[in-house]
Amino acid sequence: MTSPLFQPTRRQLLTVAGAVGLTLTVPRAVLAAADKKLRIGYQKSSTLITIVKAQGTLQKQLADQGITVSWHEFTNGQPLLEALNVGAIDLSADVADTVPLFAQAAGAALTYYARETPAPSAQAIIVKEDSPIRSVADLKGRKVGFARAAGAHFLVIAALEQAGVPLADIQQAYLTPADGRAAFGNGSIDAWAIWDPFYAATQQHERVRVLIDGRDGLADYARYYLASTPYAENNPKVVNQVFDALRTAGLWAKQNPDDAASLLAPVWGLDKTIIVAANKRRSYDVRSVSLENLDRQQQIADVFLVNKLLPRRIVTRDATIWQLGT
């Protein structure tokens, strides 16, 4: 049984394939074993992979081995992992902790190869500064925007549960970050659950108030990197090199926040001050994935199952974890 959140239509699959220059008639095994090519998918919030791409060190290392790298941007984590599942890309940049759960529920052959340690303050539920909403409990009956299946979705559920408000008691508006930004700006939603750098950008341009973020154990907001399992099995050296590049980029970003913001600003089209604010809230601490990490994933999966977002119960410890140095 596949998840409706991870079950692309034929048109969506053609769009994904077309975006990376593939056809759907190419067998997955052929795609995964394609020699001398590495296709990396990412989204705008994929800070470390953006740094790696901009600095060019990984590309040079792999070019010396005769491997070319191509980069493919996606609007959010869901289509990114869909592309990984159908063999349109080989590795994904980071996605919120919620997103891989739907891939696992759909039976996708994906492998966790890295994670960023939690950054719970990097996502929040915000309202306009002059809003009458003063607490999470005040969201009852209100329209709240967030991306479906994103980390922000879990934050909304967890915050409402803590406040004793059933999810059904709010008006849920599923919005991409771009659509959410517009809806929040024109007042068509009462509150918005969003993550950095979109969160920091809104704080810069709007007079907003934070209702709650993920701290105090509410929502960890760890981010995970995934690979196509066939690709990881066939290209272990490359996966290790990408891991090392991400870890190096994370250390550099934290040790050189101004330089990191200067590098990212023209790429993202954002003011440096926005990027500095966003980067302060992200850990950028890249580590291997452990079974203990997947226990927290299990808690999220169980919450999503209760709220009828996952189609079936999954056992997160059944997921494939990359062993660094393999």
Which residues face 145 on adjacent strands? 173, 192
- Domain ranges in the chain are 4-118+222-321, 120-213
At residue 325, the pLDDT reads 72
Residue 316 is given by DSSP the state G
> Where does the pLDDT of residue 324 fall: very low under 50, low under 70, confident under 90, or very high at 90 and above?
confident
Cβ atoms of 236 and 326 within 8 Å: the answer is yes
At residue 10, the pLDDT reads 42
Fold of 4-118+222-321: D-Maltodextrin-Binding Protein; domain 2 (3.40.190)
Assess whether pLDDT exceeds 80 at residue 13: no
At residue 25, the pLDDT reads 39
Other CB atoms within 10 A of residue 312 CB: 10
Return the percentage of the chain with pLDDT > 90, whole number: 84
Judged by average pLDDT, the poorest of 15-24, 30-39, 100-109, 187-196 is 15-24
> Where does the pLDDT of residue 156 fall: very low under 50, low under 70, confident under 90, or very high at 90 and above?
very high
> Residue range 123-135: average pLDDT?
97
Judged by average pLDDT, the poorest of 76-80, 138-142, 304-308 is 76-80
Return the percentage of the chain with pLDDT > 70, whole number: 89
> Residue range 60-76: average pLDDT?
94
Same fold, 4-118+222-321 and 120-213: yes
At residue 4, the pLDDT reads 42
Strand (E) positions, the chain? 37-42, 68-73, 91-92, 95-96, 110-116, 123-128, 143-146, 171-174, 191-195, 208-213, 223-228, 286-287, 320-321
Compute the distance between CA of residue 324 and CA of residue 114 in angstroms, rounded to an integer: 9
The residue behind tokens 């009828």 is: 308
Closest to 110 measured CA to CA, from 314, 266, 325: 314
Over residues 82-124, the pLDDT tens digits come to 999 999 999 999 999 999 999 999 999 999 999 999 999 999 9
Cβ atoms of 220 and 296 within 8 Å: the answer is yes
Assess whether pLDDT exceeds 80 at residue 181: yes
How would you class 233 by CB atoms within 10 Å of its CB: exposed for 0-12, middle for 13-18, buried for 19 or more? middle
Burial state string for 72-107 with b = 16 or more CB within 10 A and e = fewer than 16 = bebebbbbbbbbbbbbbbbbbbbbbbbbbbbbbbbe
Contact residues for 3 (Cβ-Cβ < 8 A; gap 6+): 102, 105, 106, 310, 311
At residue 77, the pLDDT reads 84
At residue 220, the pLDDT reads 93
Assess whether pLDDT exceeds 90 at residue 45: no
> Where does the pLDDT of residue 44 fall: very low under 50, low under 70, confident under 90, or very high at 90 and above?
confident
Fold of 120-213: D-Maltodextrin-Binding Protein; domain 2 (3.40.190)
Assess whether pLDDT exceeds 80 at residue 275: yes
Compute the distance between CA of residue 14 and CA of residue 211 in angstroms, rounded to an integer: 40
